[in-house]
Amino acid sequence: MRFGLHLLLRQKKAVAGLAIVVALCLMAILAPVLAPSDPGARVGRSHQPPTAEHYFGTTKMGRDVYAQFVWGARPSLAVGFATGLAITALGTVIGLISGYFGGRVDATLDLATNAVLVIPNIPLLILLASFAGTVGPLAIMTIIALTSWPWGARMTRAQTLALRNREFVTAARMVGEPSWRIIFVEILPNLVPLIGINVVGSIIYAIVAQTTLEYLGFGDPLNVTWGTMLYNAQNSSAIIVGAWWDIGAPALGIALVGLGLALLNFTFDEIANPQLRSGPALSRWMWLTRLRRRELEAAR
């Protein structure tokens, strides 16, 4: 299956999604240019509404919300993307091994996959995080990755099972290729669309989980991220006193990443699974059939 960039760029939704994600990443990278001030510095009075001086107002502690928003994008996006990649890597490898080797290996791994899948993730995350105490970005990443690989593993296993007995795999086995080579060189490339969906879905999940953990206060409160911004705003009862900007800025950031990634994933899904398509091609076809039906009726 062809899975080039041009396929993506033809879809309006994908372009919009990609634009949002790229813009947010650029903002994170260019943080020193966009917000030269220190996000931890006190610059004004408590909970001031947005002004020309402080675009997004100030927090309870008098810190600039705009600077925090821009700088907070860095750890939030970095942890989200890295965790998403880690989840996908773990899930793909486990799914490939399970699906390719079959037999007892498959039985064990599949049991583990399904078992971890039915354990409620967030309570497990909270348990792990509360035993670990206040956790840094790396610990958050590890905890999330270790508990959420089963989705990807299940999808990959099913796909690998379908590929395992195809001619090209049998041929490779006949030639005497080692298993690792068959798995990673022969089978893996066929799973690229699936992995694409898996990566984007995992990043979405990772961002949701990270936000939840940080909002509950498990993040490092000194590290400015969108999640800890929410936590601090909640703790200073920003909503009750009407300081909507304090909660709104990080919420907007997180919602925008979610929106962008969701639009991308929707398009990935349509490309990988043409049956689900609803894009321009399909509406043109619908329009043509409607036209033909009308002509037929007119003729009658």
Partner 1 sequence: MRIPLRRLGVYFAAFLFAIVVNFTLPRLMPGSPVDSMIAQLGPRATPAAIEAIKARFGAVQEPVWLQFVDYIKGLATFDLGVSVKYYPQTVTQVLARSAGWTALLVTCAILFSLCIGVSLGAVAAWRRGGRFDAFVSPFSVVLIAIPPVIIALATLFTFGVTLRWFPVGYAYNPDLDPGFNFTFLGSVFWHAIMPVLTLSPYMIGEFQTTMRSSMISVLGEDYVTMGRAKGLSETAVMFSYAARNAMLPVLTNLALMLGAVFGGSIVTEIVFNYPGLGLTLFTASVARDYPVIQGQLLLMTLATLGANLLVDIVYGVVDPRIGEQRA
Interface residue list for partner 1 (CB under 8 A):
13, 111-112, 114-131, 204, 207-208, 211-212, 215-218, 230, 234, 239-240, 242, 244, 247, 251, 254-255, 258-259, 261-263, 265-266, 269, 273, 275-278, 282-283, 285-286
Of the pair 52, 104, the CB lying nearest partner 1 is at 104
The CB-of-207 to partner 1 minimum distance in angstroms stands at: 7
The CB-of-266 to partner 1 minimum distance in angstroms stands at: 5
Gyration radius (Cα) of the chain, Å = 24
The CB-of-19 to partner 1 minimum distance in angstroms stands at: 15
The CB-of-147 to partner 1 minimum distance in angstroms stands at: 10
The CB-of-27 to partner 1 minimum distance in angstroms stands at: 18
The CB-of-77 to partner 1 minimum distance in angstroms stands at: 14
270 within 8 A of 13, measured Cβ to Cβ: no
Q: Which residues contact 8 (CB under 8 A, 6 or more apart)?
A: 14, 15, 18, 264, 267, 271
The CB-of-1 to partner 1 minimum distance in angstroms stands at: 18
Of the pair 170, 273, the CB lying nearest partner 1 is at 273
76 within 8 A of 135, measured Cβ to Cβ: no
Of the pair 222, 240, the CB lying nearest partner 1 is at 240
Of the pair 61, 239, the CB lying nearest partner 1 is at 239
E strand intervals along 90-194 = none
Look up tokens 């979610």; give the residue. 258
Of the pair 185, 241, the CB lying nearest partner 1 is at 241
Rounded to whole angstroms, the Cα distance separating 110 from 160 reads 13
**DSSP letter assigned to residue 20:** H
Look up tokens 């996908």; give the residue. 88
Rounded to whole angstroms, the Cα distance separating 32 from 39 reads 10
Look up tokens 């030639």; give the residue. 175
Rounded to whole angstroms, the Cα distance separating 173 from 171 reads 5
Indicate the burial class of 2 (C-beta count within 10 angstroms; 0-12, 13-18, 19 or more). Answer: exposed
Of the pair 129, 183, the CB lying nearest partner 1 is at 129
Of the pair 179, 278, the CB lying nearest partner 1 is at 278
**DSSP letter assigned to residue 38:** -
Rounded to whole angstroms, the Cα distance separating 184 from 14 reads 29
